[in-house]
Amino acid sequence: MNNTYFLRQFRNYYKITPRQYLIRKRLEAARDHLEVNKMVSITDVCSMVGYSDLSSFSKLFKQYYSFSPEQYKDRFHV
């Protein structure tokens, strides 16, 4: 399959690029980890979902969910 064709078809179907899709899926997985396990650290979650830089992970998370990972975790585990 041609790369350009794949990108066009992917975008037509999902309305976002493959990179944006991957980011969304990783952040959804991180959100799920933060909701379910109160003992997991933010650094561990960052690593589990495929990010090596905690700072960039935190910025993306806040951009998507309007809360930092720490704030989001605290909402579920008071």
* Number of domains, the chain: 1
The answer to whether the pTM exceeds 0.75 is yes
Q: What is the pLDDT of residues 23-59, one digit of tens each?
A: 999 999 999 999 998 899 999 999 999 999 999 999 9
Rounded-to-integer distance, Cα 13 and Cα 68, Å: 30
CATH of the domain at 10: 1.10.10.60
What tokens does 22 get? 């991957």
The answer to whether residue 78 scores a pLDDT higher than 90 is no
Residue with tokens 């003992």, as numbered in its chain = 39
Q: Which residue segment(s) compose the domain that 72 sits in?
A: 3-76
